[in-house]
Every structure is written in structure tokens, then in C-alpha cells.
Amino acid sequence: GQNIDQPTEMTATEGAIVQINCTYQTSGFNGLFWYQQHAGEAPTFLSYNVLDGLEEKGRFSSFLSRSKGYSYLLLKELQMKDSASYLCAVTDSNYQLIWGAGTKLIIKP
């Protein structure tokens, strides 16, 4: 079956760096997405990786290794507003999106 694994919850300190991992087993691969979802709100798009390597966008970076079925989202200079759930999703060979259950990130002062 198809599966996306992410840690359920992580805690980090304001101003620090945190890495949220995502591993996947899917039938084919056509890209990996990261979305941010604040409590009670809709998911919003953060990043997209289709080739191996690091994509940097301000304080957020996303890394992909297709051979390892692995991605991570790196958040730098954490702010209280970064407290949210982070959803990893993979597009399979049929271009269907498979979603992880999300990682709840708690930022402490």
C-alpha cells in the first residue's frame, strides 16, 4: 500500500531551527508537497520538490531524496506564528495526491 510517515508532534524553541521529516512509499513519484495548516484553518502551500536537492524559500527550505523516499522541511529562526501542523503529500504515478497525517509543531518562547 501507499504510505506517508511523519512524526505526530514536535516541540521547538523560538529562534531555533527545526527539521520535520517525511518518508514515503508510493507507487511511483511525481512530486512532493509541503503545506502548513494553522489550527482551525485551511492548509496553505509551502513548497514543491520534484528533483533531488534543497529548495530554499526564505526561512523555509525543503529537501528531497527520491532514492531514499525521504524529504524534510527545515524551518529557521522560528517564530511563534510557525506553530502549526505541517503536511507532507506525494503525487504518485497516477498523479493522485497521497497525504501524511501531519506533524504538529509547538513553538515555545
Partner 1 sequence: IAGITQAPTSQILAAGRRMTLRCTQDMRHNAMYWYRQDLGLGLRLIHYSNTAGTTGKGEVPDGYSVSRANTDDFPLTLASAVPSQTSVYFCASSEQGAEGANVLTFGAGSRLTVL
Residues interacting with partner 1, by CB under 8 A?
A: 4, 8, 30-31, 33, 35, 41-45, 48, 50, 87, 89, 91, 95-102
- 81 phi, psi to nearest 5 deg: -70, -10
User: For residue 30, which of 78, 95, 82, 79 has the smallest C-alpha distance?
Assistant: 95
Residue 88 CB, nearest approach to partner 1 (Å): 9
Residue with smaller CB distance to partner 1, 79 or 93: 93
Residue with smaller CB distance to partner 1, 24 or 78: 24
Residue 63 CB, nearest approach to partner 1 (Å): 17
Rounded-to-integer distance, Cα 61 and Cα 55, Å: 5
Q: Write out the three cell numbers for 90.
A: 506525494
CB 105 within 8 A of CB 8: no
Residue 97 CB, nearest approach to partner 1 (Å): 7
